[in-house]
Amino acid sequence: MGKIAFVFSGQGDQFSGMGKELSERFETARSVFSLCDSVRPGTSEQCFAGSDEELKMTVNTQPCLFAFELAAAETLRANGIAPDMVAGFSLGEVAACTFAGVFDCRTGFSLVCKRAELMQEASEKVNASMAAVVKLNEDTVRRICSEFNGVYPVNFNCPGQITVAGLAEKMQDFSAAVRTAGGRAIPLKVGGGFHSPFMSGASDAFGKVLSGVKAGKAAVPLYSNLTGEVYGDDVAGTLSKQIMNPVLWEKTVRNMISAGADTIIEIGPGKTLTGMTSKIDASVKALSACDIDAVLAEVGKC
């Protein structure tokens, strides 16, 4: 019998209203949102009714997505669907760590709030943005990036899709170079140049925060963005370095599949990771908790 993996999503799929129905229907979800509100008042209201511009601000995006993701994951667990392994994309890795028991919910949420604050501060110091490059291979994307000072390949998502971070002033010319090479650069709904050298200050500061936090052992295999492998003992180093280094997502998913995962459930308000899973291995059952009834029906009957 195959295994189930939960993958917690990153920034970009947030929208006003996310989690409202989930909270109304499931007591477990309400409890998570309530706890998050006790740490950061107004979090659930931002999820349920915040404007798109408000939710695009990193300092808001990350806590709101964490709250939704943990609420959805705990709801699935309360209904008998639990993963054999977990991973998270960027901020989703903090949610994955929390769900797996490395941090308790209050600590995990406090950490993601601090992470968001530090990354917001770093992004305000440099006018940078991100774009997903599609239809080009890794070597080509790396070559084009090397032609521009301040543009970096940062997220290796799936075949034919690599995210770059770059100085805003360079991105128009970079996009033109991508088109010339036969690809397309799609701007992302994020507020900075994450997983790049622009985030070095945030990475160092978050490492200091994490050094004062006691981390437990994950209850299930927990995969790292930094290496694409199962976590080692250095939780603080792994999570802090992740902020300024590329996300090795395709490698992570392939390693989870090699470890037996044949059902991968995206824990997030959208289907970005679900689409990536299908492109990495079409034989894997890829589902999203944004339609929790479909997940309960599909996986609950297995």
pLDDT per residue as tens digits for the range 262-278: 999 999 999 999 999 99
| Residues 291, 170 within the same domain | no
pLDDT per residue as tens digits for the range 104-117: 999 999 999 999 99
Per-residue pLDDT at 190: 80
| Residues 161, 289 within the same domain | no
| Residues 40, 147 within the same domain | no
Label residue 301 by pLDDT band (50, 70, 90).
Answer: low
**One of 23, 110, 175, 195 is an active-site residue; which one?**
195
| Residues 142, 29 within the same domain | no
**One of 9, 23, 44, 90 is an active-site residue; which one?**
90
| Residues 50, 157 within the same domain | no
**CATH number, domain with residue 159:** 3.30.70.250
Question: Has 90 been annotated as catalytic?
Answer: yes
Structure tokens belonging to residue 288: 């999203």
| Residues 243, 225 within the same domain | yes
65 Cβ contact partners less than 8 Å away, ≥ 6 residues apart? 9, 10, 11, 13, 14, 91, 92, 95, 268, 269
Indicate whether 154 pLDDT > 60: yes
**What is the residue type of 54?**
E
Label residue 189 by pLDDT band (50, 70, 90).
Answer: confident
| Residues 271, 287 within the same domain | yes
| Residues 56, 137 within the same domain | no
| Residues 70, 81 within the same domain | yes
Label residue 87 by pLDDT band (50, 70, 90).
Answer: very high
The count of structural domains within the chain is 2
For residue 88, CA distances in Å to 79, 147, 185, 248 come to: 21, 31, 24, 11
Per-residue pLDDT at 191: 78
For residue 239, CA distances in Å to 25, 53, 67, 105 come to: 33, 27, 19, 17
Per-residue pLDDT at 1: 60
Rounded CA gap, 67 and 29, in Å? Answer: 9
| Residues 201, 273 within the same domain | yes
User: What is the extent of the structural domain holding 132?
Assistant: 127-187
Domain end position, chosen among 161, 187, 213: 187
Question: Has 224 been annotated as catalytic?
Answer: no
| Residues 244, 104 within the same domain | yes
pLDDT per residue as tens digits for the range 194-253: 999 999 999 999 999 999 999 999 999 999 999 999 999 999 999 999 999 999 999 999
Among the listed residues 7, 19, 58, the one whose alpha carbon sits nearest the alpha carbon of residue 274: 7
Cβ contact 274:7 at 8 Å: no
